[in-house]
Amino acid sequence: MTAPYRAAITGLGAYLPEKILTNFDIEKIVETSDEWIRTRTGIRERHVAAPDQSSSDLALPAAQEAIKNAGLTARDIDLIIVATVSPDMLFPSTACYLQAKLGASCGAFDMAAACSGFPYAVAVAEGFVKSGLYKNVLVVGAEAITKFINWKDRSTCVLFGDGAGAAVISRSKDGHGLLASNLGADGNESKILQIPAGGSMIPPSEESVRNGLHFLRMAGPELFKIAVKTMEQAVREVLKHENLEVKDIHCLIPHQANHRILEAVANRLELPLEKIFINVDRYGNMSSASTAVALYEAVKTGVIKKGDYVVLVAFGGGLTWAANLIKW
């Protein structure tokens, strides 16, 4: 069945908090080295939110830029979806805080798909626009994830950074836009990447805090293997919708967790590394903000041009994975 409308990304925005933490700064906090971090992950530095900056504060300037670039005002937005796993609070949603800060008047909700959050939210927005229910949907990946990091745990604290990226998804007037999306999840692997406490399973208590259960935990090496496999599969799946092949991709925008993961994905897909947009060196892993900021930078720097086939792909806690195929 063909959808009544097409959907396209019509405006992008991004925001990175001011403070930069280099690998050399982290050498002073835990027993690690710039050399280990660079060679094992490709990360050189990351941005860190100020103590008084929450995820909705990071989302706001990114959203404002995306709305302006789409030629709209906040009043034109019909729905706000914020992808985040570092929300301002358990509730109200970060999307509601953002809605108030923007001065928008529309529905708003959060999406918890961890690092796959942005491509997941893009797929949901695509559905709303294609169905004709909404004209302009604002999608934001926003994370102040460093607030959930144990700065005594060198296996995680060197990896993450904060930031936000935003996209406006509107009715497309030509043949360009979002062609297909596919979403995946495997809840059986939930323990590989999680923040165990603070929810209804392990409510906050003195004991949960003493045991550091409010911090992000990750089985890095296990996740590495799954990441490579799921990203490869998600890319191949989404291409099938339009009978395209890997060689048709002009630019792959992947989740930025580790440079070595991206090299392995490039190898498995037989896609030249130059076709993969990489900024993990400057930002680390920003969870749901990673693909959003990478897309913004790829468009802004002219890496993505009109008519290009672009694939967004991510994986993360859940486990979740997602891909979007776009004709720019």
Q: Which of 315, 297, 16 is nearest to 164 (CA)?
A: 16
Count of residues in contact with ligand UT7, rule CB under 6 A: 19
CB of 232 to ligand UT7, least distance (A): 14
The sign of the CA dihedral 195, 155, 224, 278 is: positive
What is the rounded distance in angstroms from the CA atom of residue 76 to the CA atom of residue 166?
15
What is the token pair recorded at 10? 């019509």
What is the rounded distance in angstroms from the CA atom of residue 239 to the CA atom of residue 84?
26
CB of 224 to ligand UT7, least distance (A): 4
CB of 144 to ligand UT7, least distance (A): 15
Single out the residue of 103, 187, 221, 302 in contact with ligand UT7 (rule: CB under 6 A). Answer: 221
Q: Which of 71, 144, 145, 73 is nearest to 102 (CA)?
A: 73
What is the rounded distance in angstroms from the CA atom of residue 77 to the CA atom of residue 66?
11
Single out the residue of 115, 286, 292, 323 in contact with ligand UT7 (rule: CB under 6 A). Answer: 115
CB of 238 to ligand UT7, least distance (A): 19
Q: Which of residues 16-55 bind ligand UT7 (CB under 6 A)?
A: 32, 36, 40-41
By CB under 6 A, is residue 116 in contact with ligand UT7? no
Angle ∠(60,308,227) on CA atoms, nearest 5:
65
Q: Which stretch binds ligand UT7 (CB under 6 A): 54-62, 90-98, 205-213, 217-225?
A: 217-225
Binding site for ligand UT7 (CB under 6 A): 32, 36, 40-41, 115, 154-155, 158, 193, 220-221, 223-224, 227, 257-258, 261, 285, 316
Residues known to be catalytic: 115, 255, 285
